[in-house]
Amino acid sequence: MAAASINLQTTDDPRDAIHRTVQALAEGKLVAVPSETVYGIACSALNERAVARLAELKQRSSEHPFTLAIKSSDDAQDYVPTLSPLAQRLARRCWPGPVTLVLDSTHADSLLGQLPASVREAVIPNGSVGLRVPAHDALLSILRLTAGPLVLTSANHGKQSDAVNAADVAKLFGDEIDLILDDGPSKFGQPSSVVRVGDSKLHLLRSGVITDQVLKRLASHLIVFVCTGNTCRSPMAEGLMRQRIAERLNCSINELEDHNVMVMSAGIAAMSGGRASAESVQLMKERGIDIEKHESQPLSERLVRFADLILTMTRGHREAIIAQWPDAAARTKVVCRDQSDVSDPIGGPIERYRRCAEQIDSQLANWIDEIDFASIPSIVRCDESKTEANNSGK
């Protein structure tokens, strides 16, 4: 008998469809689920019989472990308590999204230790685990309502093409699975990128939705300076910091991104596309720094989430950021170490701008000393036939 199917796009109550799927997973059933990459087959990681059935269905050995789907990047710390700063950065920037991170999982306090022994053998046989937070509303809703993570793999057999819609799943598996959750074609139609995170290197185990170039940017160290309008203080701070880091790395300012370092600026009340003030442009030009093409931008949720370090011109700016984005508190600092404010020179004479620039510049060396340039990663592309690139499926 063919697997039952629920169409999320035509059902009268999508919430009932989600609850039925959660119930099926709790009962140890195998469920085909949509994601933004391809369709996958999921089961509860707490049910060893279901995981064993999935391994048999996929003919997977412990040499090709399954991925665990979790509901948020915050949960990653529960499974990998020793999550490195680089891994934290990628989890913060890539999730929810089409990236599977392969991480060390040997810590004694990991929640992975609470999984049945046979499940641990299926997902962490070699001391590492593949984690993924999919960017699909229905699947995320299921994860939030499910006890524990889901074991997740692509809906295909061996080297067959990935299933990108419910019809593909039904054709490939028929009655071998219990339920198909249909939400139309997958957004990307190709699997997730799989990345092993080392201390200072990223090993690209499988190419997928995320290209090498995008991954490089996602792995870069990002510093963001914040003032009010993003036309005076923060553009000068951005330019000065770029210059100092380039000197430290012995490269040109234009080569910073090649060294995986990015410096940006924004304003908590900025308009998009404004130019830096004429006085700021003049002062930076005197120092060999070009900010003439600067365009102001408002501080956004994405920029806050991506930033490794946010340096504000005043205490008030920091308080405003933390009030809106509490999770960024540990990464948000006042640029002046003594917590004094950098006053806004706008509308004042050029000397006021000069004092402002000097005050900012006097603080930057201390912040540069806190950047661990040795840990800024390089990216290594691995031969997929010699790695666990296929461990994650989706």
Global model pTM greater than 0.75 = yes
201-206 and 378-381 strand pairing: parallel
Tell me the CB-side half-sphere exposure of residue 307, using CA atoms within 13 A: 27
Q: Do domains 4-216+380-391 and 221-373 have the same CATH topology?
A: no
| Domain 4-216+380-391 annotated CATH 3.90.870.10 | yes
What pLDDT score was predicted for residue 62?
A: 67
Residue ranges per structural domain of the chain:
4-216+380-391, 221-373
| Phi, psi of 390, deg, nearest 5 | -90, 5
Active site (catalytic) residues = 227, 233, 344
The CATH classification of domain 221-373, taken from the options 3.40.309.10, 3.90.1200.10, 3.40.190.80, 3.40.50.2300 = 3.40.50.2300
Of 121-130, 200-209, 297-306, which range is least confident? 200-209
What pLDDT score was predicted for residue 61?
A: 72
Which pLDDT tens digit goes with each residue over 244-296? 999 999 999 999 998 889 999 999 999 999 999 999 999 999 999 999 999 99
CA distance 265 to 239: 9
H or E segment to which residue 283 belongs: helix 278-286
* pLDDT confidence tier of residue 157, bands split at 50, 70 and 90: confident
CA distance 350 to 360: 15
CA distance 129 to 259: 29
Q: What mean pLDDT do residues 334-358 have?
A: 96
At 328 the three-state DSSP class reads helix
Which pLDDT tens digit goes with each residue over 166-187? 999 999 999 999 999 999 999 9
CA distance 291 to 274: 12
